[in-house]
Structures are given as structure tokens and as C-alpha cells.
């Protein structure tokens, strides 16, 4: 397993859905923040899900629930 596949697996574990069928990510941007002295890399993470299966408990749903409840 290469580093890109390991990153995709980590994204799936943190942000994925229990009913996902496919996921991908790609680098969509990169810049240097001179104020902070940091490189900033923007990633796009896409997930395809199988409709009809209940989604529960993933980090993304928990965040979304907290935003709606606030």
C-alpha cells in the first residue's frame, strides 16, 4: 500500500460513510502562507454512497448534527 492509498484509507476512516461504495481525493491547490511560514495544500475528498442504507455515527454526521443543533 503506497502513501496515497494510506491517506485515502485514513480519510475514509475519519470522514467516510458506512454505506460508501467508492472514494477518491486529489490535490486541488497549493500555496505558501508567508505570515505563518507554512505550506498549505488543499485536498478534495469525494465519496459515493449506496442510497437506502442508513448512515450513522461518522465524524461528518456528528459535526453536521452539532451544527444543526446549535
Mean per-residue pLDDT of the chain: 86
Task: Give the whole-angstrom CA distance, residue 33 versus residue 18.
Answer: 36
Task: Give the whole-angstrom CA distance, residue 62 versus residue 16.
Answer: 12
- Residue 25: per-residue pLDDT: 94
Full domain range(s) for residue 51: 3-69
Task: Give the whole-angstrom CA distance, residue 30 versus residue 33.
Answer: 10
- Residue 46: per-residue pLDDT: 94
Domain count across the chain: 1
Q: Is the pTM of this model over 0.75?
A: no
Amino acid at each position: 500500500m503506497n502513501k496515497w492509498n494510506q491517506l485515502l484509507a485514513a480519510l475514509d476512516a475519519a470522514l467516510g460513510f458506512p454505506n460508501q461504495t467508492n472514494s477518491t481525493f486529489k490535490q486541488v491547490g497549493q500555496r505558501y502562507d508567508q505570515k505563518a511560514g507554512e505550506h498549505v495544500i488543499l485536498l478534495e475528498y469525494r465519496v459515493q454512497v449506496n442510497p437506502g442504507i442508513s448512515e450513522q455515527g461518522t465524524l461528518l454526521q456528528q459535526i453536521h448534527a452539532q451544527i444543526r443543533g446549535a
